[in-house]
Structure 1
Amino acid sequence: MDVSKFNLDKELAALGLDSGLERLTAAAAALDRAFDETVATAVSPDRLVKVTVTGRGDVRELEFDRGIYRTENPQALAATILAALGQAHAAAAAKMQAAYESFQEDLDD
């Protein structure tokens, strides 16, 4: 269905909803930008692994210190990587929570 035939701007204005729609659209765009712009990094306590994730949860970067090659226990290394990844995700989630709270405030105004 071609929605371009509908003139929603005039309909919404007639109902007094146009400013609310503009506010919602702007707030949603800001939240979407926050998802795209948010980056969080975590480093393992032994400093062997560094993980960077985006606000959408994607792993952007995974770095290993040269000392990692001395690690003889692959299970311990895997646990270190997963722990750093979990910390990075938690940091990104905290940033996104702040962005979502800002989104909610924009809607409440």
Structure 2
Amino acid sequence: MYKLSISPEAKDDLVKIKSNISKERCNTHAAVNLVTKITRKIRGLTEHPEIGAPLSSVLDIQTDFRFLVCNNYLIFYRLENRTIYVSRILYSRRNYMRILFGKLSEDEEI
């Protein structure tokens, strides 16, 4: 079984997701349900760490990041020495490339 490590940024992402859904929909129950669903997916990685698609399979970039889709959110993680490092949990329509990697180059569109 793999160990799980969640970055401070990913923890903050979960807090923001819960807060935003609660405020936008005025529905704390929906926010809690979504965060619960995301955390279940993350915990499931300990038994099936390679279930997420490699990010390099959908983008023309070499990276060891993998991702899982949960509703409209993407869970970005890496595998290293039997540990799963969850880096970020981002809304799928955000510019996650810029968030994950910063600006790549002057001429490269993200």
Query: Fold-level match, TM-score > 0.5?
Result: no
Higher helix share: 1
- TM-score normalised over the length of structure 2: 0.31
Bigger Rg over Cα:
1
Higher strand share: 2
- TM-score normalised over the length of structure 1: 0.31
